[in-house]
Structure 1
Amino acid sequence: MKAWFIVLVAVLILAINMGLRQALGIFLPDMVSVYSMSLPSISLAFAVQNLLWGAVAPFAGIMAERHGYPKVLIAGALIYSAGTALMAVSQSPIVYHLSNGILLGIGVGATTFPIVLGAVSQYFPEKKRSLALGIASAGGSLGQFIYALAGNALNQTYGYSTTLLIFAMTVLLIPLLVMPVKPQASENAPVISSEPAWRGKNFILLAAGFFVCGFHVAFISVHLPNYASFCGLTSDIAANSLAIIGLCNVAGTVFAGWLGGRYYKPYLLSGIYLARAALIFAFFISPKSAESFYWFAAIMGVLWLSTVPLTSGAVAQLYGAGKVASLFGWVMFSHQIGAFVAVYSAGWIVELTGTYNIAWYLSILLGITAALIHIPINIPKSPERILSQ
């Protein structure tokens, strides 16, 4: 029962962590207006945020493994809330980059998947772990659904600044959620040196594949609202699309976790990335309307964060549940490098060409590449900390 209580806490934390972060793309047109900056300049802060988030995650994971997950999550939540509030009250471009780029990057990185899933992993044996990780990961999708709809409604009623202040206050719920949780040493995995992972083919391929996941998720979550406006569609359609992605991925992520406990994770990941590439191609060539945005969002939602329980589960199988926070943190860093490249390059692509076409082409090509990358990954059938993999 205690283990599933930890999963519930993880769901709520990731709902706040990812919900707020994924909903920020809704405010992109407001940011351009408020700060009087170009789209590439606005995108740069998002890109820095994504990169810093990835850089912070492995070190936050190491700190969590050594000093306890609650301490790291509380510190990260305070920074996250402060950055969101600062972005809300300032109209200075410098403060915008400091808050959205640096403070949010640190705060999100210290409260995101590697730390939260690392804690969850320690409470479950291998047979149940993948499903538990899937349920916990679905919190991020549920949060995206809630924050996207609430953010759009609040923004239309109260404006950009007030909405962000309300969002900043919701982040302060994270310390309240983790305070009752007592640190626990894992009974399912001993502490093992992570150094051999760097030399292993499996680790490198998992990280390379997750780069593509970061590219897809960041590009769509940040730039889809702006792309909708390019297509002559309203902000409601953009917000609804992000909400649909989040809602559909609640089921998609849990289902992926369930599948991961029964089938070979690398092949499942290959299928997800190939499906993404096919979906993006179909969306790109289709006429743009509310209906096309919604069916794209629904199918993409099933695939959205479904990679997370499978990738983190693969890391746990190969290197031990006790090392998920730090090692999955490094894999997440690769994810966020992909996010950095996507967000910043898409801004420049639009600036230079006037369209998002090249960014969509890259998304398709990378999806196919990621599908191929996962095929050579080898996870033993008896995955008891095979560090040489």
Structure 2
Amino acid sequence: MPLLKVLRPTLPILVGASIMLTLGMGLRQSLGIFLQPLTRDIGISVSDFTLAVAVQNLAWGFLQPMAGALTVRYGFRPVMMIGSVFNVIGLALMAMAHGLTSIIIGGGILIGIALACTASAIAMSVSARAVPATVRSTVLGMVSAAGSLGSLLAAPIGQVLSEDYGWRAGLAGFVVLSILMIPAAWYAGRVDRVPLPKTSGDEIGNTSAGVAVKAAFSNASFLVMTCAYMVCGMQLVFLTTHLPSYLAICGMDPMLSAQTLGVIGGFNVLGSLFFGWAGGRWNKLMLLGMIYVSRSLILAWYFMLPPTPASTLLFGALMGFLWLGVGPLVAGAVAEMFGLRWQAMIQGLAFMSHQLGSFLGAYGGGLIYDALGSYTMAWRIGVALGLAFGIIQIAFALIRPLSPPPVLKAA
């Protein structure tokens, strides 16, 4: 009850941010279920489809800092509204596609722009600004958890529509769902009326974007977190893009991939809540490293054995618990180091690395499959890099606790 009392004045903002995030991320994470039927129907290869996903991730990552900077200049509402409209248009172009160009523009560029304006960095910054510091990490976990429900809804809907009426109907269903992002973004935009609270890093609040960027890249903790974040993106987007194809190759029921993505979404909720709570009590960077190491071990276990429905659903549950837990930890770490005014932009800088990894996971996985006829080499690379960067993140967290950068202390 005390938490609810604290949050009551900002509930419309938090609900709007959660719905916007859950729809944007859920629809995007479920696009892999259309890989096989779409590529067969319009005559493109697996690597062509994954190129569109890779372009999406690059556009999202490299435009994320710009979108964050624009929220400081113009406010969150116009940025989120424009992003929501782009998401609808991008999915509509995919649903009407007859060749690679429409897939690249719709599923790649437009959805990438939309995610830069509506996804984790923006939604987390909105939520962080709306609540007191005492409950911030917990609330970030709650919003991330709510944002995890999208794939639980989108993947089964898309799969059922695709099986019964074709993949275009499945994507048309996604278009209808995406329209709901527009009113959600409007309500989340009420955060523009909330006064900017003080945090430990808010000396950066009165500086320019250039000074904020310089401060971020002079902070060793931020740099290590950013590098490890790349492997996070590589592992997750490899799975969302290629797991349905992998299961189809292994002769599994097509519905199993949608069920697994749904299980991932469901356990995302538990993981996001747990790591949001844990981030308010323990070292956020240490927790990130533990997530990366654990994910890598689970990936190795699953792909070393022939898949079964039971092992696949268990794999989805374990990976889901570790999936979006990074969201509240990264957002909380950035707010703790640099304050709130430039949080969306600085978090976007870290996210560029994440999306570079996403590009490698999506497109690199497709190239490896086309060249070798299997995903074995792709998952082995993902496991090796995940273990290496996870261990480095843990080691650095032990010797370098979070703190505002020296240039901010002296400001």
CA-CA distance at 1:120 after TM superposition: 0.9
Partner of residue 71, structure 1: 78
Residue by residue over 1:102-152, the C-alpha shift from the partner in whole angstroms, topping out at 9 and shown as x without a partner, is 111111221111111111111223331111111111233111111111111
Partner of residue 138, structure 1: 145
Give the Cα separation in 2 of the matches to 1:387 and 1:327: 16
CA-CA distance at 1:297 after TM superposition: 0.6
Superposed CA RMSD: 1.6
Q: Amino acid of the residue matched to residue 390 of structure 2?
A: A
Q: Amino acid of the residue matched to residue 55 of structure 2?
A: V
TM-score using structure 2 length: 0.91
Task: Give the match's secondary structure for 1:301.
Answer: helix
Give the Cα separation in 2 of the matches to 1:130 and 1:350: 40
Give the Cα separation in 2 of the matches to 1:64 and 1:281: 40
Partner of residue 271, structure 2: 252
Match of 2:297 among 263, 275, 278: 278
Partner of residue 22, structure 2: 15
Match of 2:198 among 188, 206, 231: 188
19-28 or 287-296, which moves further after superposition? 287-296
TM-score using structure 1 length: 0.95
Residue by residue over 1:191-226, the C-alpha shift from the partner in whole angstroms, topping out at 9 and shown as x without a partner, is 254121112211111111111110111000010000
Partner of residue 344, structure 1: 363
Task: Give the match's secondary structure for 2:130.
Answer: coil
Mark the runs of 5 or more structure 2 residues left unpaired by the alignment: 1-7
CA-CA distance at 1:359 after TM superposition: 0.9
Give the Cα separation in 2 of the matches to 1:91 and 1:3: 44
Aligned pairs, how many? Answer: 387
Partner of residue 3, structure 2: none
Give the Cα separation in 2 of the matches to 1:73 and 1:247: 25
Give the Cα separation in 2 of the matches to 1:387 and 1:75: 35
Match of 1:227 among 210, 222, 246: 246
Q: Equivalences for 1:25-174 in 2 at 5 Å?
A: 25-174=32-181
2:276–2:328 contact (8 Å) kept in structure 1: yes
CA-CA distance at 1:156 after TM superposition: 1.4
Identity, in percent, stands at 33
Match of 1:238 among 241, 257, 264: 257
2:157–2:173 contact (8 Å) kept in structure 1: no
Change (3 A) 1:386 1:312: farther
Partner of residue 372, structure 1: 391
Q: Amino acid of the residue matched to residue 248 of structure 1?
A: F
2:33–2:159 contact (8 Å) kept in structure 1: yes
1:85–1:168 contact (8 Å) kept in structure 2: yes
89-98 or 350-359, which moves further after superposition? 89-98
2:91–2:107 contact (8 Å) kept in structure 1: yes
Whether 1:3 and 2:10 are equivalent positions in the alignment is yes
Mark the runs of 5 or more structure 1 residues left unpaired by the alignment: none
2:80–2:118 contact (8 Å) kept in structure 1: yes
1:248–1:301 contact (8 Å) kept in structure 2: yes
CA-CA distance at 1:43 after TM superposition: 1.1
CA-CA distance at 1:177 after TM superposition: 1.8
Task: Give the match's secondary structure for 1:232.
Answer: coil
CA-CA distance at 1:252 after TM superposition: 0.6
CA-CA distance at 1:161 after TM superposition: 1.3
Give the Cα separation in 2 of the matches to 1:163 and 1:225: 15
Q: Amino acid of the residue matched to residue 109 of structure 2?
A: I
Q: Equivalences for 1:353-364 in 2 at 5 Å?
A: 353-364=372-383
Residue by residue over 1:147-176, the C-alpha shift from the partner in whole angstroms, topping out at 9 and shown as x without a partner, is 111111121122211221221122222221
Give the Cα separation in 2 of the matches to 1:28 and 1:342: 15
